Amino acid sequence: MPDRNRLRLAIQKSGRLSADSLDLLARCGLRLRTPKGRLIIHAENFPVDVLLVRDDDIPQLVMDEVCDLGLVGTNVLEETALERHLNGANAGYAIERSLDFGRCRLAIAMPEDRPYSDTGDLQGLRIATSYPHLLGRFLAGKNVQAEVVLLSGSVEIAPRLGIADVICDLVDSGSTLEANKLRVVETIFRSTAVLIRGGRPLAPEKAHTADILLRRIDGVLKAAEAKYIMLHAPKAALPEIKKLLPGAENPTILPLAGDDTKVALHAVCSEAVFWETMEALKKCGASSILILPIEKMML
């Protein structure tokens, strides 16, 4: 019998989001052993069961309340929601957190040698895509009539095969497009991985577990950007040095043994510390500047 109080979380079984999803859960302290071939993993030290599924199935598993939470790209989420709205199915969900992986954009791309000036040039063309609803919404918004050719994969070869004139597909680095002599002419959607829950509130026991998980995710996300900075500084330069520290509140100032003119400064910077910042600190007289990663953070 499944334990009704355990939270069910769907993640991608195998693909671009899998490693980052498992990594996030591990950073949140969930002990997940992943035996090969298993479709469900019971966290050993936390009341969460993780379902390993295709990313396309994640929104509907959450919207149909088979799972309480899901980790999925907003591209798949929005496409599914549009489709379910059209079919009159329940499309309720809430985005609990935006995550720092799975970034890409859904873009219309044309053969490099084809001229393009604006969306009017898409009129009457055949556009191959796996995202008919996101594309349809974009075209309708621009008053463009085009034929949508539905393909489930390898969309980028459609123009070469002669089954479409242009494509609408996910782009990350752009190298797939380049290899197929295509160029982006319109970005229609920007996507990132998100943690979602269904439209209805969770039962109290599960809501409590979800709250703990969300707070841990917040800690992981904050720690990813944050850095711990340590440096030595002349006392006189402190006001200027403090102004240079990105997003630091109330640094700790410690005396330096054997030197009355200098102090040690320790601070948590909530934003990334770039080389330029370090160079500016050095110019103000700072020395022995150390920037350390932060593994976990709870404010």
46 versus 189: smaller Cβ distance to ligand PRT: 189
Local structure of residue 119 (DSSP, 8 states): G
176 touches, from ligand PRT, Zn ion, none (C-beta below 5 to 8 Å by class): ligand PRT
171 forms part of the interface with ligand PRT (CB under 6 A): yes
Does an H or E element contain 6, and which?
none
Pick the stretch among 24-32, 68-76, 258-266, 267-275 that binds ligand PRT (CB under 6 A). 68-76
* Interacting residues toward Zn ion by CB under 5 A: 55-56
Pick the stretch among 30-38, 72-80, 134-142, 181-189 that binds ligand PRT (CB under 6 A). 72-80
285 touches, from Zn ion, ligand PRT, none (C-beta below 5 to 8 Å by class): none
Contact 55, 17 (CB under 8 A): yes
Closest separation between CB of residue 58 and ligand PRT, Å?
Answer: 9
Closest separation between CB of residue 252 and ligand PRT, Å?
Answer: 40
Q: DSSP string of 134-187?
A: HHHHHHHHTT---EEEE-SS-GGGHHHHTS-SEEEEEESSSHHHHHTTEEEEEE
100 forms part of the interface with ligand PRT (CB under 6 A): no
Question: Which residue reads 């489930």 in tokens?
Answer: 152
295 forms part of the interface with ligand PRT (CB under 6 A): no
The two beta strands, 7-12 and 48-53, are: parallel
- Angle, in degrees to the nearest 10, between helices 74-87 and 132-141: 80
Euclidean distance between CA atoms 133 and 179, whole angstroms: 27
160 forms part of the interface with ligand PRT (CB under 6 A): no
For residue 2, CA distances in Å to 11, 30, 68, 197, 240 come to 19, 19, 14, 20, 59
Q: Please work out the total of residues on this chain that contact ligand PRT, with binding judged by CB under 6 A.
A: 21
Q: Which of 17, 108, 245, 265 binds ligand PRT (CB under 6 A)?
A: 17
Closest separation between CB of residue 151 and ligand PRT, Å?
Answer: 11
10 touches, from Zn ion, ligand PRT, none (C-beta below 5 to 8 Å by class): none
Q: Name the burial class of residue 45, with classes exposed (0-12), middle (13-18) and buried (19+) by CB atoms within 10 angstroms of its CB.
A: exposed
Give the binding site for ligand PRT (CB under 6 A).
12, 15-17, 54-56, 73, 75-76, 102, 104, 169-176, 191
